[in-house]
Amino acid sequence: MNKYNFEPKFCPVCERSFDWRKKWEKNWNEVIYCSKKCKMNKKNKKNNY
């Protein structure tokens, strides 16, 4: 798999774009959040980091 074959996604919490990473190789379609921090704060949309 090549990281250039994947479109960037947008995190619903921080609204930043994030790109494919090797650790997400097997579940890229299921990845929603850019980080663990955003995943933990998913109820608090649009946090100021």
User: 46's torsion region: left (phi>0), alpha (psi -120 to 50) or beta?
Assistant: left
Taking residues 20-46, what's their average pLDDT? 89
pLDDT of residue 1: 61
- Please write down the HEC assignment for all residues of 19-47: CCCHHHCCCHHHCCCCCHHHHHCCCCCCC
pLDDT for 22 equals 92
Give the pLDDT band (50/70/90) at residue 30.
very high
Domain spans, the chain: 3-40
Least confident of 1-5, 9-13, 23-27, 37-41: 1-5
